Amino acid sequence: MTDGRRHSMGRRLILIYGLVSLLTGALVLGLSNIGLNRLEMRLQEIDMGIAIQRVREEVASGGEGRPGRFFAGAPGSAQFPADLRSLSPGFYKLMRGQRLWHVRVLDDGNQRFLLMRDYTDYEHSQTTLVMVGVISVGGLVLLAVLLGLITTRRLVRPIERLSASMTTRASLPPCSRLATDFPRNEIGTVAQAFDDTYNHLELALQRERLFTADVGHELRTPMMAALSACEVLRDEEHLSVSADEQMQRIEGSIKDMRQRLDTYLMLARGESDCLGFARASMAQAVDEQLQQSRPQAQRLQLTLLLHQGGTAAAPSYPVPLLRTVLGNLLRNALQYAGTGSEIRLRAGDTWVEVQDNGPGVPADQHQAIFLPFTRGAQPSIDNLGLGLSLVKRICLNQGWAISVTSPEGGPTCFRLDCEPSRK
């Protein structure tokens, strides 16, 4: 597509050169021909009018006049050739047989005079001049096309090189610059602007990746220490049932944090390989997130309802990714559903819906809510507007689909559609 557009631009420029030259040449030739014809006819009319006076004087002096070309008599009389009797006073170009004649008709009182001149050879020479003009216009068009081809190549080739360089820029080392390969003209300015923007984004992306990698690396150490402390405490101390349950929750939270870090690192690196992640079916992931969300729902006086219709042959998905998506959808519903509301979960083998009867999402915000730092009308202090953005990034990474429907007044329903994972 890109090559076709570049070549099309060059062809269009050459076509414009040719069309402009053709139209200009044709206009000049046509106007010149029309102007010369009108001038010729006017001069011939005047000259033949004078010639009629001379022939009249010659005939009056006893001369023979112009036999077969000069006629005088009453208008429409037999003295005039039959095909010329109906002509009114004026100047005419007429074909008689194979010859072209200029005819001038002049009235003087009751007398009409008619003079004819054979202009066949002259008209042939005029036709030759017109053909020469047409050939000249054709040569001018060819010359314009040639000049257009040369100019277009000099103009388009740097643009083609710049386009090709931009296309392959991602394969070059960081902070590479393209502007050094182009002259300091408009194309060089575009290359310089592209270098500045691309390198700035490249550095920003590198800083983000390094930050994510550093956070993931540095947090693993204290999390491992916390897990080791939990194991030592369980081995050395006899814990009560309630304390053991709390210990299990602490260990589960730490392991969940490790899995979330792995998810963020995968997204930061732009990878989609989930081979190292545990896997579970949609039903298992929904049950787990539902159990984790029940205490908060009870504190907020909300009711969680589940309608599940999975099968035994349900596909499995990466647990950390599915857990992050479902967790954020549930937290979003818990936050915006009103007190005493119901949150309904409907799940199948490859899909899940989270519906709440909160205030709803305006139709013009259905896409914007998945952008970073976008929050609803009643955000909480700990809501940074990143949850749905993270959900969208995971779905794009895995080829899943996330959508929202929210008619005016609610309910709001988020739907996650997952094809059987091939990651």
Residue intervals of the chain classified under CATH 3.30.565.10 are: 279-417
Q: How many helices (H) and strands (E) does the chain have?
A: 7, 11
> What is the Cα–Cα distance from 281 to 291, expressed in whole angstroms?
16
Is the model more confident about 89 or about 16?
Answer: 89
> What is the Cα–Cα distance from 201 to 211, expressed in whole angstroms?
15
**Per-residue confidence at 177, pLDDT binned at 50, 70, 90?**
confident
**Per-residue confidence at 384, pLDDT binned at 50, 70, 90?**
low
Residue 81 CB neighbour total at 10 angstroms: 13
39-89 pLDDT, tens digit per residue, is 888 888 898 889 989 988 888 888 777 888 899 989 888 889 988 998 999
What is the CATH code for 279-417? 3.30.565.10
pLDDT of residue 2: 45
- Render 238-262 in DSSP notation, one character per residue: ---HHHHHHHHHHHHHHHHHHHHHH
* Residue 307 DSSP one-character state: E
**Per-residue confidence at 417, pLDDT binned at 50, 70, 90?**
very high
What does the mean pLDDT of the chain come to?
A: 82
* C-alpha triplet 19, 21, 26: angle, nearest 5°: 95
- Give the burial class of 309: count Cβ atoms within 10 A of its Cβ; 0-12 exposed, 13-18 middle, 19 or more buried: exposed
85-116 pLDDT, tens digit per residue, is 989 999 998 888 888 899 999 998 888 999 99
pLDDT of residue 383: 54
DSSP-derived pairing of the beta strands 70-73 and 351-356: unpaired
pLDDT of residue 332: 86
Q: Which token pair is 28?
A: 């000049």
> What is the Cα–Cα distance from 210 to 206, expressed in whole angstroms?
6
255-312 pLDDT, tens digit per residue, is 878 877 878 777 776 776 776 788 889 989 999 888 888 888 888 888 888 888 777 7
pLDDT of residue 1: 42
**Beta-ladder partners of 345:** 306, 354
Largest CA distance in the chain: 157
- Is 186-269 a domain of CATH 1.10.287? yes
Residue 401 scores a pLDDT above 90: yes
Residue intervals of the chain classified under CATH 3.30.450 are: 2-150
DSSP-derived pairing of the beta strands 342-347 and 303-308: parallel
Residue 234 scores a pLDDT above 80: no
What torsion do the CA atoms of 93, 94, 100, 101 make, to the nearest 10 degrees? -70
Residue 199 scores a pLDDT above 60: yes
What torsion do the CA atoms of 371, 374, 376, 380 make, to the nearest 10 degrees? 130
Residue 133 CB neighbour total at 10 angstroms: 17
Mean pLDDT on 108-129:
86
pLDDT of residue 235: 77
How far are the Cα atoms of 49, 160, 164, 301 from residue 7, in angstroms, in the given order? 62, 9, 13, 66
CA 9 to chain centre: 15
Residue 6 scores a pLDDT above 50: no
What are the backbone dihedrals phi and psi of residue 413, each rounded to the nearest 5 degrees, phi first? -130, 120
Residue intervals of the chain classified under CATH 1.10.287 are: 186-269
> What is the pTM (predicted TM-score) of this model?
0.53
Q: Is 20 helix (H, G, I), strand (E, B) or coil?
A: helix
Q: Which token pair is 274?
A: 């989930």
- Is 2-150 a domain of CATH 1.10.357? no
pLDDT of residue 114: 92
Residue 422 scores a pLDDT above 60: no
**Per-residue confidence at 210, pLDDT binned at 50, 70, 90?**
confident
Residue 352 scores a pLDDT above 90: yes
pLDDT of residue 416: 94
Instruction: Give the residue from 40, 55, 38 showing the smallest Cα distance to 115.
Output: 55
Q: Is the dihedral of CA 315, 321, 325, 326 positive or negative?
A: positive
307-349 pLDDT, tens digit per residue, is 887 777 888 898 888 988 998 899 888 888 777 788 999 999 9
